[in-house]
Amino acid sequence: METTLLYLEDFSRLTCEATVQSIARENEKGVVALDATVFYPQGGGQPYDTGMIESPAGKFLVEEVRWTDGIVRHIGHFEHGAFAAGENVSCRVDAQRRMLHSRIHSAGHLVDFAVAQLALGWTPGKGYHFPQGPYVEYGGMLGDADREKLKQDIERIGSEIIRQGKEVSVRFMSKEDMRALCRFVPENIPDNKPGRVVVFGNTFGVPCGGTHVTNLSEIRGFSIRKIKQESPNIRVGYDIAGS
């Protein structure tokens, strides 16, 4: 049975009730699988959540979260007690860690929002939304572009969007509908089922499965660390305030 990913519909949700599907040990760590979870498993350029799973029978500290073949694996150790398959448990995500990762991830899409407004013609690629040196990559060539001016322009536009306090929402839509809202839709998105789009305001959408802030003002501030050519890609390194 695949794990229901509750954060997909509400990325501000930090708690849930769930049922234990299985318990195992792997590399001297406990592995708990649930029928549903609010814990984000590492992927899409974003780190995993941590936190705890608890019941009257025990308390499990979640130190790592991974997704394998539709199953979310909560990896860690029991502080005390143990669970049994079929047992009801309560889950709680570390709110401070989740907010940091959400701010960094949203700031990565904010860079893309600014790049779109500047009409630079870069093709979105991968993102690395970890606290240590986050960046986003684009297909394209800088050529003789003034990199310092590009940094200033992206910072200026992004900072103005943060100041405006645009709301962030989630929508599920067909691949065809995505093309009307998103400036880039990856080809590997399935055609036969709705996909998840994270929307800034009502005008800028990005196909994305990660967690984000609910309002862009929560990013607080960001800066462009560097823009460099890593042929055939352009890498834009960025930082957020207070990270």
Rounded CA separation 222/233 (Å)? 22
Query: Residues spanned by CATH 2.40.30.130 within the chain?
Result: 4-93
Average pLDDT of span 212-220: 97
Fold adopted by 98-240: Threonyl-tRNA Synthetase; Chain A, domain 2 (3.30.980)
pLDDT in tens, 29-79: 999 999 999 999 999 999 999 999 999 999 999 999 999 999 999 999 999
Question: Which band of pLDDT confidence, cut at 50, 70 and 90, is reported for residue 188?
Answer: confident
Give the pLDDT confidence score for residue 191 in this predicted structure.
Answer: 83
Say if residue 243's pLDDT is above 80: no
Mean model confidence pLDDT for the chain? 96
Cα R_g (the chain), whole angstroms:
19
State the pLDDT at residue 220: 96
Residue 119, sorted as left (phi over 0), alpha (psi -120 to 50) or beta, turns out to be left
What DSSP element (H or E) covers 106? helix 95-117
| CATH number given to 4-93 | 2.40.30.130
The packing angle between helices 147-164 and 95-117, to 10°, is 120
Give the pLDDT of residue 35: 98
Could you give the residue range(s) of every CATH 3.30.980.10 domain in the chain? 98-240
Please report, for residues 170, 173, 200, 207, 218, the alpha-carbon distance to residue 204 in angstroms, rounded to integers and kept in the order given.
Answer: 12, 14, 5, 10, 18
Q: What is the pTM of this model?
A: 0.95
